[in-house]
Amino acid sequence: MHPTEIPIYGNYHGYYHKRPSASDSRLACLPPKLFHDARVLDVGCNEGFVTCEIAQTLGATRVVGVDIDDTLVRAAWKHRRTVWSQQGPPAQPPHRDACDEGRDPASGPRKRRRTSDSGCMPAYFPEAFEHMFGPLPVPDAVQRRTDDDTEGSANARFPHNVSFRAADWVAGPIPEDEAEYDVVVAFSVSKWIHLNGGDDGLLAFFRRVHSVLRVGGTFVFEPQEWDTYAKAKRMDVRLKENAAALKLRPGDFERELQDLGFGPAEHMGTVGDGGFRRPIDLYVKVR
């Protein structure tokens, strides 16, 4: 499959101009340590906003974003550099004498900047800096070992812990799949896989997710409701024809996933606003 100007794969350009992108609410509803020290695959990463948030602020050691649209993948690499340009230096622990009382002896109550799980200060610089002066260069990857690098190098930290690939992931693997993932994320993609590939295509996607996850790993899934298929299928005659033959419905997805070897869904709630308000489910691979 090849992307076209009509987003028949859900490959919307400017998607995050419509959907709020700072501290994505879908990630906020998940268990706080889900991504800590994890290898993560983000399927249908679009421009990489969620991918970069997981890599920068949620403690993942390796995050791979994959999307069928090469233009979006190029935008994701650009977004990575923008996010890096706005990131502050690693937070330094305060002096013990000031920390004990929660005060700075010279200036009164201590004001702490918000830091991420990885110890950085995201959005440290105003966005205007990057627009006025251009993005900062990403430093070369390093191979030195540090005490807190889970994978044995500073490359486990943002921005070196995130990368992107253009590929039809449902149709075949990418090199990063050779090592199992701890978490696979699939936000806003099930409808498009279903409409393009039919029931067989969606089941193939579920099998692919199961095959690349380690036992005990987690599938983070945002199923799109059946009533949203009606508008999407009008984009292209092929989608309309495929939709007429569909037998599976979103209510059937949990059964199919359990048949593959996932445990029952853990429903994290329904998040988002307007047309983006959807359920978020977690499935753990049990066999």
Tens of pLDDT along 146-174?
444 444 456 789 999 999 999 999 999 99
* Rounded (5°) CA angle 156-90-29: 70
Q: Inter-axis angle of helices 190-212 and 253-260, to 10 degrees?
A: 20
pTM: 0.84
CATH number of 15-72+159-284: 3.40.50.150
Of these ranges, 92-106, 111-125, 246-260, the one predicted with the greatest mean pLDDT is 246-260
Which of 125, 283, 137 lies closest to 216 in space, CA to CA? Answer: 283
Amino acid at 287: R
